[in-house]
Amino acid sequence: MNLKLTLAIAAAFLLAACAPEGEVTREPVNPWEWSAAFGFNQAEIVSGETRTLYMSGQTSVDANGAVMHAGDIRAQFELAFDNIDTVLAAADMDRSNVVRITIFTTNVGALIQNWDVYMTRYPENGYMPADTLIGIGSLFEPELMVEVEVVAVD
């Protein structure tokens, strides 16, 4: 094991040991600064969590599961994040608890043109979770263009 990795592991254990009981601490890990401009950290060390929420992918569906906003990637992206907020609230959490976001889309270029939907909900509010954007062929309904998964801790 190299010295940098050993020191990183030791620092993570030290952070966990020093956090007050029940308090979550988040330490961004950004060996490169470019990701901050896109609103995400390369990784986060999360210590002291008491609950972890693994959320199923949220899409542009209403409360009955009906697809909304066919063909409108921006509206779909917004509704997916609204649905995330609803699930977080049901778990007594909010955006500040999100540590990981995975976004699946059938049109990466169009989603990037609407990236401000993400930026105004997370980085501009001080939250920069680890993030992955994945281009795919299709989602479970052909009208859907975006699906977003999150992991949250408190």
Q: CA–CA separation, 40 vs 68, rounded Å?
A: 28
SS (H, E, C) the chain: CCHHHHHHHHHHHHHHHHCCCCCCEEEEECCCCHHHHHCCECEEEEECCCCEEECCCECCECCCCCECCCCCHHHHHHHHHHHHHHHHHHCCCCHHHEEEEEEEECCHHHHHHCCHHHHHHCHHHCCCCEEEEEECCCCCCCCCCEEEEEEEEC
State yes or no: pLDDT of 9 exceeds 70: no
User: pLDDT per residue over 77-128, tens digit each?
Assistant: 999 999 999 999 999 899 999 999 999 999 999 999 999 999 999 888 888 8
pLDDT score of 7: 36
Q: Total domain count for the chain? A: 1
Average pLDDT of the segment spanning 43-69: 87
The pLDDT, as a whole number, for residue 40 is 81
Per-residue confidence (pLDDT) for residue 135, from 0 to 100: 98
Q: What is the CATH number of the domain that holds 104?
A: 3.30.1330.40
Residue 65 confidence (pLDDT) above 70: yes
Q: pTM of the prediction?
A: 0.75
Cα gap 28→67, rounded to integer Å: 36
Task: Give yes or no for a contact between 148 and 117, defined as CB atoms under 8 angstroms apart.
Answer: no
Residue 41 lies in domain: 3-153
- Rounded distance between C-alpha atoms, residue 73 and residue 135, angstroms: 13
Least confident range from 33-37, 67-71, 117-121, 130-134: namely 33-37
Backbone angles phi, psi at 29, to 5 degrees: -120, 110
**What pLDDT sits at residue 49?**
65
Q: With a cut of 70, say whether residue 12 has pLDDT above it.
A: no
